[in-house]
Amino acid sequence: MNALFTQQLTVLNAGLQSFADNITRAGGDAVALSWQPPAGGDREGGRVLASLLNHPQIEAANEQAMAQYLAAQPMLVDVMRAGEAIPALDKHKRILHAGPPIAWNDMCGPVQGAILGAILYEQWADTLEQAQALIEQGEVSFEPCHHYDAVAPMAGIISRSMPLWVVENTENSQRVFSNFNEGLGKVLRFGANGDGVIEHLQWMGTELAEAMKAMLAESGPIELKPIMAQALHMGDEVHNRNIAATGLLMKQLLPALLSTALPVEQIQRAIRFITANDHFFLNLSMAACKSMLKAAEGVPGSTMVTVMARNGVNFGIRLSGTGDTWFQAPANPVDGLFFPGYGVDDAAADLGDSAITETAGVGGFAMASSPAIVKFVGGTPADATQNSRSMQRVTIGSNPAFTLPALNFAPTAAGIDARKVLDSSVLPIINTGIAHKQAGVGQIGAGITTAPMSCFVDALSALARQISR
């Protein structure tokens, strides 16, 4: 013992960094471990976690869900009117919105503005006042896009006359849907609903949709995973940055589009719109990710997260093993960069279905491939790389289809395991746009946010009850 205290001490410190700092100042060496109590210190979460760790049924279920996710092959196969693709939209005045379920009176400004715009677009009303009256009379119903295997970004809305991308998983013939990306500026997905917005939607639903459908008839189905994989090697993370992916899509689009019998002027307008919209591929990226994750749904006992989505008020998740049940909590704030003239007080809470990209292992999970994204969302290239590394702590495995050059072509972390989120107290990272809280103002910034811990605690508690029956 006396000899021990005459030697240079090296201390392993688990807990507060300040303890290690004090040892260093006193002349010792300290190695600080990044450790937090499980479930962020939530007692119920810790108890549930203990009952589910190393559980044979869960391990087998997660292996199955992960294998089904990895095997999925999403292909762009068609363009359809929403009411045709989702017949429930033709039967009633029903509008689909991004995020988990929410009542009209609880919705944020951009979602309400987008819904009012969709009512005008559908010609169910002639004015915003009439549209509001329809809602108050109970004539219009609302459901999440995810309830119909669809996704939409930001205050994304799908109504019966809108065109949808149709993406099919060739492994099991399951189909998912996404709306078209409108571009930037005054657009419906930020709650804008003026005459120009409606006219643009009408052009997309007729002329652009016709061009895209004719293009696919010429080209045949388009594989989406290879486009995403190559884009990751070209500086995209296929959520907030889709410049490379849109360009790669254009390489396949243009020859087929030019081979159609459509009028030259119509083709030119379509090309001008797509080439001016760096986010054109985003909605296809989301649909591809939804397709891969849908393949993993419904595996009894699986703790794999298959949906993360936000409605501007709440954040919601679903697990493979708990089916269609949502687990919600207030959305966490977004830490990011604001456009000049805007700040935190102007922002809506986190918003949109686009977190399906992170759920599938890209977006924020693949930030190491997109160092330029930090100019948009904040931080440094080193932060982007660290974000990708940290997500390895909360996933079942990785996706060899998507590799990151900055990490020596390591595959992206994929298959969020709700147990690992609780065990590590590391929350899934999402890079996201920031919408103004008032309808129609538009995007006012971008940044980084995380999923709320309580969603994962509630989801695992529900799964534990199922398993114990």
CATH domain 42-69+296-468 topology: v583 fold (3.90.1700)
DSSP state of 78: E
- d(CA 369, CA 7) in angstroms, rounded, equals 45
User: What residue spans define the domains of the chain?
Assistant: 4-35, 42-69+296-468, 74-287
Give the closest residue to 9 by CA, choosing from 22, 18, 17, 407: 22
- Per the CB < 8 A criterion, the answer to whether 285 and 352 are in contact is no
293/290 Cα distance (integer angstroms):
5
Q: How does DSSP classify residue 428?
A: P
Predicted TM-score (pTM) of the model is 0.92
The half-sphere exposure of 34 on its side-chain side, counting CA atoms within 13 A, is: 5
Q: Where are the alpha helices (DSSP H) in 122-263?
A: 128-136, 195-203, 209-219, 225-232, 243-258
- Do 74 and 173 touch, CB atoms closer than 8 A? no
Q: CB count, 10 Å around CB of 282?
A: 22
What are the φ/ψ torsions at residue 243 (nearest 5 degrees)? -65, -50
Q: Which residue has tokens 């045949």?
A: 220
CA distance 157 to 119: 11
Q: Do domains 42-69+296-468 and 74-287 have the same CATH topology?
A: no
d(CA 187, CA 179): 13
Q: For 307, list phi and psi in degrees, rounded to 5.
A: -145, 135
pLDDT tens for each residue of the chain, 469 residues long: 566 566 666 777 665 666 667 767 767 777 766 656 676 777 888 888 988 999 999 999 999 999 999 999 999 999 999 999 999 999 889 999 999 999 999 999 999 999 999 999 999 999 999 999 999 999 999 999 999 999 999 999 999 999 999 999 999 999 999 999 999 888 999 999 999 999 999 999 999 999 999 999 999 999 999 999 999 999 999 999 999 999 999 999 999 999 999 999 999 999 999 999 999 999 999 999 999 999 999 999 999 999 999 999 999 999 999 999 999 999 988 888 888 999 888 988 899 999 999 999 999 999 999 988 887 787 888 888 999 999 999 999 999 999 999 999 999 999 999 999 999 999 999 998 888 888 888 888 888 999 999 999 999 999 999 987 6
Burial bucket for residue 1 (CB in 10 Å: 0-12, 13-18, 19+): exposed
CATH class (in words) of the domain with range 74-287: alpha beta
Helices 453-468 and 43-52 meet at what angle, rounded to 10? Answer: 50
Q: For residues 377 and 445, what is the distance between their CA atoms, to the nearest angstrom? A: 8
On whether the CB atoms of residues 190 and 441 are closer than 8 A, the answer is: yes
Residue type, 131: A
Asked whether 375 and 392 are in contact (CB, 8 A), the reply is no
β-strand partners of 222:
76
